[in-house]
Structure 1
Amino acid sequence: MEETGPEFEPLGARSKVVDIEKLTKWNLTQLPELVESIDSNSGEEVEIKTPFPWRSDLNTKIILWCGDITLLNVEAIVHSTNEKFNSSVKTPSSDVIFEKAGPELLAELKNNIKVCKTGDAKLTKGYKLLARYIIHTVGPRYNFKYVTAAESALYSCYRQVLQLVRETNIKTVALTPAHSELRGYPIEDGAHIAIRTVRRFLEKFGDEVETIVFQCTEEEMEAYQKILPLYFPRSSKEEAMASCMLPENIGNEDGEPIIAERQIRIMDKPTFASMRGHHEEFEETVDLNKEFATSTVLEVGKHPFAQMEDNPDEMKKSAIMGKTTDEQRQMENRRRYERLMKRARTEDLTDIAALKCLYRTEVDKYGRPVVIYVGKHFPGQSVNLEKALLYMLRVMEPVVESDYVVVYLHTETTASNHPPMNYLRQVYSLLDNKYRKNLKAFYIIHPTWWSKLATWFFTTFTASDIKNKVFSLRGVQYLYRSIAPDQIDVPSFVTNYDIKVNGPRYYEPPNDSQEGL
């Protein structure tokens, strides 16, 4: 009797074929949404601009799937291999592909293709596979000393693969990760580049492709489930949350990683100081407002200020002298802070002061100075953010020398009042450590869904050291537990709004025996 088990299938038989039409598309994939951990107001509309907006038409073209790539009934599959297609470095699917495709595949590779360089992609027939084509690509070896080179090479892998998809008029393709742990590439770092490149490709050429399957192993699945929503959000709320969790370097319009060193050295009109290599003068001429005033997402990581790095040659020189990267970064941050403080003390900032969005009031019950920030008075989309930063330093510098408290009045703010998220991250990274150390409480009055989201993100990923110092209060009177009414100067529109939503007296201040917040 002829055996028909897994090892002895009848000639021409196809077992366990996976029909991609029966797989769940990304727009219908049931995963926990990113915003479920935020206590939101269900009826509140979210106004936010992101680099990767929610697009159901693109989500219907994406499938996330774990399994044997050779079982998918797609026109093309991607084979992640090495330069000479031999057995020295293989991905888990490599052996299966060669085995099921038959000896003709290896013969074509040896006789016609011969070699595939790192970052390149080559097309062959699928032979005995379900797929008509196989696209072979070689991912980079990862070395933390040459991260930018590895990122550029990995981007090139995916870009070349997708280019072959277009040129060959392939409608359905399964992408296996080109970034291999066997070559030391971190799974999550590689997933960002893979998914981002596909997103940008579909934005431009989505009409030419029907389905792209992200095929991965069980070990890779968790990373892809976590990162896919950042670039392919499935709802408006997930889009808003994703915008806060995106990495600083989201690449250019094609998804290609931005290399900060190139941004420093390529200038349309070099200044005399930069031609002399006078680094101090070059940094003084940086237009921070131009960097900050753009959207949260379009300029992230494009300038060395965003990367918190200085001239690469200077950093290398310091490293040779024995300084660690952390020590060098701290030194550069300190230098930037001191230069900005010098400007804050001397420049004319009367136009920012006239906004009355940041000012010093009296003290709390423990004698700590209180600083008020009025969100509604801050024109976040039109103000000169560089001058706003300088004014903040001028107001805060005398206060932060000892314990202090900040009250943020979020009352009646709109999207136009919200500064870009990357601006907040950069400013926080720039500030002297005494700002974090001496801050004892940060009160947010009349919080909204957006403020809760932004606060959760900021204190989770950027400012974890102040997370336990942030308090959201739904009314001004809750402040009276730690700040006496006659010690805090609150604008009339805030108190009017407070009475409107909470009533004239909704909170009974504790007696003196009770502890303050």
Structure 2
Amino acid sequence: MEPLGVNPNQVDVWSLPSWAQCEPGTPPTLPPQPTPTHPTPPFTVDIDINNKICLWSGDITRLNADGIVHSTNETLNDRNPLSERLLAKAGPELKNELFSNIRYCKTGDVVVTDGYQLSARYIIHTVGPRYNIKYQTAAETALHACYRRTLQSVVERRMKVVALCVINSVRRGYPPDQGAHIALRTIRRFLEHWGSQLERVVLVTESIDISIYQLLMPLYFPRSSQEQQCGSYLLPLDLGDKYGEPVIPDRQIRIIDNPQHKYEDLDDSAELAWQLQPGETVGTHAFTRMEEDVDKQRLLGGQPAYATADPTTASLTSDLQHKQRYERLLRRAKSEDLSEVSGIGCLYQCGTDKLGRPVVIFIGKWFKFTEINLDKALLYLIYLLDPLVRGDYVIIYFHTITDTCNHPSLTWIRQVYDVLEYKYKKNLKAFYIVHPTLWTKIMTWWFTTFMAPQIKHKVHSIPGVEYLYDIIDPDQLEIPAYITEHDMTVNGLRYYKPGSAS
């Protein structure tokens, strides 16, 4: 029986183990002879900070923190499980304040209300950004602002304990792993500067995010010299400024206060000179030829016609060689007998998604990497996808009950990726990994970070089949029975309703 006045559903934040109390796990596996991204570890072991932060997966509304964070939309009426749960538990007074008095909160900003009937004294409402690869830096800056302004509000109101939810949302298109990097580095930098004014920060994650944070926490909050050293290799190159805010080099333009003054060091004042090389005439620059998405084409593996030292020979020769190689493989794919690969059934098209885009299914368990003819596997991939990738398409990879013999090497994946034409990367709109394991998440993060960053925002890991129903109708999804049986064993029946993801 609980003592009088104690809510049995309430969770005491001081009962949760701090990050320092959690035993360091096995350090991530590095590739053979890795090259460090950073010459020295960007984040060092700090016991005081590690004692202030903890990672917890559960219902944030149950915590008795001084303040809890609520991620919502601009009009404060977002329909997601967290918002609905919070509004219901806080009572009608909160709804009245939000919808009658406050009404609006812009992206990247925060508003603070009382906690009303919740255990928390305050609720900090913030609006995460929508993600678009064309405006990636703007989205990163806005998400950083959400976390930083949230923590600033905590300090201003002299709260000592705050529970932070994951502010970025898959429903707004934000890649979960990229959002986790922004969150962790912003929190770490804030604690480095103002940690003395906080006693505990609880990172509260849903089940879909917990594995990502478990992977990345040791890099930003290392507990041992091994974890600290891993940060030199696995953390992204861009970690923002001293507060974790994204840095935009193009805005770092020096303004001379005296027009007659000349700097002796001209390197800093000529940061943008590369855009128009001295030898280029206006008529040969890409802008005058109105090339479409030149930077995007470079990112996705295509080669702009003007790139490299000799724009009239080297670039065109490279493009031509790549195109000729692909066309040779396509001719072979159409002429050779590929029945030994097609008969396996590990790769096939099944229906279309809700936007009419063809969906390609890949069954990991049936792909025997150590036994299959890899040359013919590549030819069959080209044979199946070439007519589909002329427009938008989606790939769903089922990692369900795979073994080590089903895991292709990163070297082979990179070779396949390099062979495929620009249209494959450009028109791929989403790549879903269903039933991922820790190994899958590590390998996916490594590949999309260091080998294929241009498709990183398109790759999503989801824990169950029913999460796919937001993008594809069930009657359009044809998958082996063992996958649905495993899914029901792991997740149960009707564990997810379309449209309810947060």
Superimposed CA distance per residue, residues 152-203 of structure 1 (whole angstroms, 9 cap, x where no aligned partner): 1111111110110110011000001110111111111111111110000000
The offset of 1:237, in angstroms, is 1.3
How many residues are paired up? Answer: 303
Alignment of 1:452-467 (within 5 A): 462=450
Residue 17 (1) aligns with residue 10 (2) = yes
**Structure 2 counterpart of 1:422:** none
Whether the 8 Å CA contact 2:166–2:205 is kept in 1: the answer is yes
**Structure 1 counterpart of 2:394:** none
**Structure 2 counterpart of 1:62:** 53
The offset of 1:150, in angstroms, is 0.7
**Structure 1 counterpart of 2:212:** 223
Residue 246 (1) aligns with residue 235 (2) = yes
Partner amino acid, structure 1, of 2:196: D
Q: Give the whole-Å Cα distance in 2 for the aligned partners of 1:167 and 1:275.
A: 39
Superimposed CA distance per residue, residues 289-314 of structure 1 (whole angstroms, 9 cap, x where no aligned partner): xxxxxxxxxxxxxxxxxxxxxxxxx8
Whether the 8 Å CA contact 2:294–2:304 is kept in 1: the answer is no
Residue 95 (1) aligns with residue 68 (2) = no
Partner amino acid, structure 2, of 1:52: F
**Structure 1 counterpart of 2:296:** 325
**Structure 2 counterpart of 1:53:** 44
Point out the more displaced range, 266-275 or 75-84. 266-275
**Structure 1 counterpart of 2:107:** 118
Scaled by the length of structure 2, the TM-score of the pair is 0.53
- Report sequence identity in percent: 42
| Structure 1: unaligned runs, 5 residues or longer | 41-46, 285-313, 339-432, 434-456, 465-517
Whether the 8 Å CA contact 2:57–2:204 is kept in 1: the answer is yes
**Structure 1 counterpart of 2:174:** 185
Q: In structure 2, the residue corresponding to 1:24 is in which secondary structure?
A: coil
Q: In structure 2, the residue corresponding to 1:15 is in which secondary structure?
A: coil
Q: Give the whole-Å Cα distance in 1 for the aligned partners of 2:115 and 2:177.
A: 29
Using a 3 Å threshold, how does the CA distance of structure 1 residues 50 and 110 change in structure 2: closer, same or farther? same
Q: Give the whole-Å Cα distance in 1 for the aligned partners of 2:120 and 2:274.
A: 58
Alignment of 1:497-516 (within 5 A): none
Q: Give the whole-Å Cα distance in 1 for the aligned partners of 2:32 and 2:267.
A: 51
Q: In structure 1, the residue corresponding to 2:214 is in which secondary structure?
A: helix
Superimposed CA distance per residue, residues 346-366 of structure 1 (whole angstroms, 9 cap, x where no aligned partner): xxxxxxxxxxxxxxxxxxxxx
Q: Give the whole-Å Cα distance in 2 for the aligned partners of 1:64 and 1:14.
A: 22
Whether the 8 Å CA contact 1:54–1:232 is kept in 2: the answer is yes
- 2:74 is matched with which residue: 83, 95, 98? 83
- 2:98 is matched with which residue: 109, 116, 131? 109
**Structure 1 counterpart of 2:273:** 279
The offset of 1:461, in angstroms, is 6.3
Using a 3 Å threshold, how does the CA distance of structure 1 residues 332 and 212 change in structure 2: closer, same or farther? farther
Q: Give the whole-Å Cα distance in 2 for the aligned partners of 1:458 and 1:107.
A: 47
Q: Give the whole-Å Cα distance in 2 for the aligned partners of 1:57 and 1:13.
A: 30
Q: Give the whole-Å Cα distance in 1 for the aligned partners of 2:214 and 2:306.
A: 35
Partner amino acid, structure 2, of 1:335: T
The offset of 1:267, in angstroms, is 5.5
Scaled by the length of structure 1, the TM-score of the pair is 0.52
| Structure 2: unaligned runs, 5 residues or longer | 257-261, 279-284, 312-417, 419-444, 453-502
**Structure 2 counterpart of 1:172:** 161
Pairwise CA RMSD: 4.0
Q: Give the whole-Å Cα distance in 2 for the aligned partners of 1:218 and 1:120.
A: 26
Q: In structure 1, the residue corresponding to 2:162 is in which secondary structure?
A: strand
Point out the more displaced range, 214-223 or 30-39. 30-39
Whether the 8 Å CA contact 2:129–2:139 is kept in 1: the answer is yes
**Structure 1 counterpart of 2:225:** 236
Whether the 8 Å CA contact 2:108–2:129 is kept in 1: the answer is yes
Whether the 8 Å CA contact 1:83–1:115 is kept in 2: the answer is yes
The offset of 1:261, in angstroms, is 2.2
Q: Give the whole-Å Cα distance in 2 for the aligned partners of 1:228 and 1:221.
A: 10
Q: Any runs of at least 4 consecutive aligned residues in structure 1 with deviations exceeding 3 A, and if so which?
A: 35-40, 265-284, 314-324, 326-334, 457-464
The offset of 1:13, in angstroms, is 6.4
Partner amino acid, structure 2, of 1:34: P
**Structure 2 counterpart of 1:439:** none
The offset of 1:250, in angstroms, is 0.3
The offset of 1:30, in angstroms, is 3.7
Whether the 8 Å CA contact 2:250–2:272 is kept in 1: the answer is no
Whether the 8 Å CA contact 1:274–1:282 is kept in 2: the answer is no
Partner amino acid, structure 1, of 2:296: T
Whether the 8 Å CA contact 1:80–1:137 is kept in 2: the answer is yes
Using a 3 Å threshold, how does the CA distance of structure 1 residues 259 and 336 change in structure 2: closer, same or farther? farther
